Amino acid sequence: MAHRLCPWWLGYLLASPIRRLWHNPRKILQPFVTEGMRVLEPGPGMGFFTLELARLVGPRGKVFAVDVQPKMLAVLQRRARKAGLHDRIEARHVQAESMGLDDLAGTIDFALAFAMIHELPDASRFLDEMHHAMGQNRSLLVAEPRGHVKEAHFAALMEKAKRAGFQVAPGPETHLSWTAILRRG
């Protein structure tokens, strides 16, 4: 499968309020995120889910948004300031080869990887890094778009998740997406 990043300018469409008609961030995230949590969101784009994550973790929580595209992060930070949520979000520019999360090892309560793993050059490395960042008995919600990712590719990704040390369970019903909950035991 070819690995191509979503162009930064497409982020405006992905952050559009109209998208809520088929991906409601609160409905998707509320069962997993509570106040005070430390949440990791790789590939947040311009913050479609990030802002809702920041609302859910509240003033005592923290959202770590990591992306390879500085322009996406700049818009995310601007949107977070406008929403009064910038103090809850730490935006980090990372490299495609590694997210550089050693300082977060074992501290993440929940992570969201929404429609981004298929863009990575090495999904196994990504899953290893996520496993390292997650706390014990914590969850990673993975969603991949059915239009870009075939069912067989998603099944292969879940096998990689198991090899990284995750337990795999079905994820929530999410429009036009393959989903799974990966739990770090």
> Would you say residue 68 has pLDDT above 50?
yes
pLDDT at residue 2, as a whole number: 43
Mean per-residue pLDDT over the chain, rounded: 90
pLDDT at residue 19, as a whole number: 58
> Would you say residue 175 has pLDDT above 70?
yes
Give the domains, in start order, of the chain with CATH numbers: 24-184 (3.40.50.150)
- Mean pLDDT over 167-176 rounds to 93
What is the Cα Rg of the chain in Å? 15
pTM of the model: 0.90
Say what percent of the chain tops pLDDT 90: 76
pLDDT at residue 133, as a whole number: 97
Give per-residue pLDDT as tens, 113-132.
998 999 898 999 999 999 99
- Cβ–Cβ < 8 Å for 145, 72: no
Range 119-143 burial, b when 16+ CB lie within 10 A, else e: bbeebebbbebbbbbbbeebbbbbb
